Structure 1
Amino acid sequence: MSADPKKVHADIDADREDGPRDVPRALIRLIEDEGLQVGDRLPPELELVRRLGFGRSTIRETLKTWESMGVVSRNKGAGTRLISEISRNTLRVALTIKHEAESLLRMQQVRRPLEIEAVRIATRLATPEQRRIISARAAELMAIYEVGEDWRPADSRFHNAIHEATGNPLFKQFIEQIQKAFHDIYETPFGTPHLGQETIPLHRPLADAIIAGDEDRAAELTATIIDMVCTATQNFSEEHDG
């Protein structure tokens, strides 16, 4: 017998955090509460939107991730069917990580060219005072990192100093909007707040390149920093896949 839709919805609402990472959790709970087995069809997308309270695009994105992992099959005529067993105690963590990784990688793909261009412009246009501030922010970041404290606020201040040196406030606005769209994931990806901390030592030479007016070197280091975060994201996802 199917579970009461109102009860399922209420139960999910009770422990969700309204972040992108909660869509897989909500879907898994619905599957368990409905008693769906391999070969059974999931409710249509519009019904999932109504019952779970997430947007259709968000649910569709999660189902595409599940399809790529071999958890469901999707067919216009047959709908979405389970093709492997799933429960909150087995695949929840793997599915959540996979979904977060793909979202974070998409965010970095959009952020990458913006950050590189911002660094190039800042290297060309920064005033002596702005270069001094960038250097000071880098020193602050390295000092906090070296004593093992939370370096994320200092990292944000460092990059903000670069954005301000471009003379174009849209760089800061656009990058902040991108990060805000993925706020839950960006702040603590995979529950690991310091993902990408191996890139922090590169921020000192990045600051030095900007101060020296070496545009190509600054752009190269920025690309390397973002690529390292993407690689760490992919590696984490692969280590916990399935």
Structure 2
Amino acid sequence: MQRDQGVAVQMKDRSRGPGSLVSQVGESLRQAILSGQYSPGDKLPSEIELTETHGVSRTVIREAVAALRSDGLVEVRQGAGIFVLGTEAYPSLSGRRVDKARVSSDLEVLEVRAPLEIEAAGLAALRRSPAQEEAIFECHRKILRCIENDESIREADLALHFAIAEATNNPLFKQHLEFHGSAVIPQSKIVNESRAAEQTAYRKMIHKEHEAIVVAISDRDEEAARNAMRDHLRGSQIRYRDLLKDFRTFPG
């Protein structure tokens, strides 16, 4: 019986789309926190409880929680659970200062992610099918639509990297990204969202970096795909190291 329920949940996840499910669950939890249903210091329901409540897989719950953690709303304590932080950390409620520990953590993820994604880009250029190529292009177009509509590109950005990993035809690449969830796409925290013009310029720069990767994969140019992905991830690392320099220059 449990196996049948698990299969049903997986089928439900696939039919509704992983990206939309993560957004729906994340938004539900976010609103519960911001509305005061959960107060700072409160422990959220367990992963199993959240899976049953929302009717989704553990992967979706983990990605949704990773997004909340990235926004500074929760922290995951190993062996203890998920705990709510103060809502003053949420960017829509205050001019949030970027947390030094969180920046360091994101940089660590980027450093681990880089060699795998560089390899994934090269393999995608060699192995992608026409359908996978179109999926990559569609993800890239979606990022541009988000920019034009002044919307966050984070979910579309993650979908693009998933599509590239999928095009390697080696499931371990995508599993690696799914393990870290949206924490592998930390770009939305680099620029304060209250500075609209700077935010838009930043998103366009990310889109341009993605374009070089997408074109190289489409051209089946393995070396160019690797180099473009390397440049993209190296740029992200440089931007995060600059943030850490700011912390050292202006501590506290």
Shorter-chain TM-score: which interval? 0.5 to 0.7
Instruction: Summarize deviations over 1:140-198 as a string: whole Å, max 9, x none.
Output: 21232244221112112211211111111111111221346x58x94864795779633
What is the SS of the residue equivalent to 2:99? helix
CA deviation vs aligned residue, 1:113-135 (integer Å, no higher than 9, x gap): 11111111110001122112212
Q: Which residue pairs with 1:212 in the alignment?
A: 219
2:241 is matched with 234
Question: Number of aligned pairs?
Answer: 162
**Counterpart pick for 1:168 among 164, 170, 173:** 170
Q: Which residue of 1 aligns with 2:127?
A: 125
CA deviations on 1:11-67 (whole Å, 9 max, x unpaired) are xx9624885998xxx9xxxxxxxxxxxxxxxxxxxxxxxxxx9559xxxxxxxxxxx
Runs of 5+ unmatched residues, structure 2: 1-37, 44-68, 80-95, 194-198
Q: Of 225, 228, 245, which residue of structure 2 is paired with 1:221?
A: 228
- The aligned runs of 1:125-204 (5 Å cut-off) are 125-179=127-181, 182=183, 186=186, 189=189, 197=203, 198-204=205-211
1:205 deviation in Å? Answer: 2.3
Q: Give the structure 2 partner of residue 66 of structure 1.
A: none
Contact 1:124–1:213 (CA under 8 A) maintained in structure 2? yes
Larger Rg: 1
The 1:179/1:110 distance shift into structure 2, 3 A limit, reads: farther
Q: Which runs of 5+ in 1 are unaligned?
A: 1-12, 27-52, 57-92
Tell whether the 8 Å contact from 2:118 to 2:226 is kept in structure 1 after alignment.
yes
Q: Aligned residue for 1:45? A: none
Alignment check: 8 A CA contact 1:111 1:178 kept: no
Does the CA-based 8 Å contact 1:100-1:190 persist in structure 2? no
What amino acid is aligned across from residue 15 of structure 1 in structure 2?
P
Q: 1:165 to 1:55 in 2, by over 3 A?
A: closer
Instruction: State the one-letter code of the partner of 2:174.
Output: K
- CA distance 1:147–1:201, change in 2 (3 Å): farther
Q: TM-score, normalised by structure 2?
A: 0.54
In 1, distance between residues paired with 2:39 and 2:191? 20
In 2, the alpha carbon distance for the partners of 1:110 and 1:126 equals: 24
1:15 and 2:22 correspond: no
Q: The residue matched to 1:15 in structure 2 has which SS?
A: coil
C-alpha distance 21-162 of structure 1, shift in aligned 2 (>3 A)? closer
Which residue does 2:116 correspond to in 1? 114
- State the Cα RMSD in Å: 3.5
Aligned residues of 1:160 and 1:172 also touching (Cα < 8 A): yes
Q: 1:134 to 1:14 in 2, by over 3 A?
A: closer
Using structure 1 for the length normalisation, give the TM-score.
0.56
User: How many angstroms does 1:136 deviate by?
Assistant: 2.1
The 1:220/1:99 distance shift into structure 2, 3 A limit, reads same
The 1:17–1:144 alpha-carbon spacing in structure 2 relative to 1, beyond 3 Å, is farther
Report the 3-state secondary structure (helix = DSSP H, G, I; strand = E; otherwise coil) of the residue aligned with 2:150: coil
User: Aligned equivalents of 2:156 and 2:110: distance in 1?
Assistant: 20
Q: Which deviates more from structure 2 when the two are superposed, residues 201-210 or residues 96-105?
A: 96-105
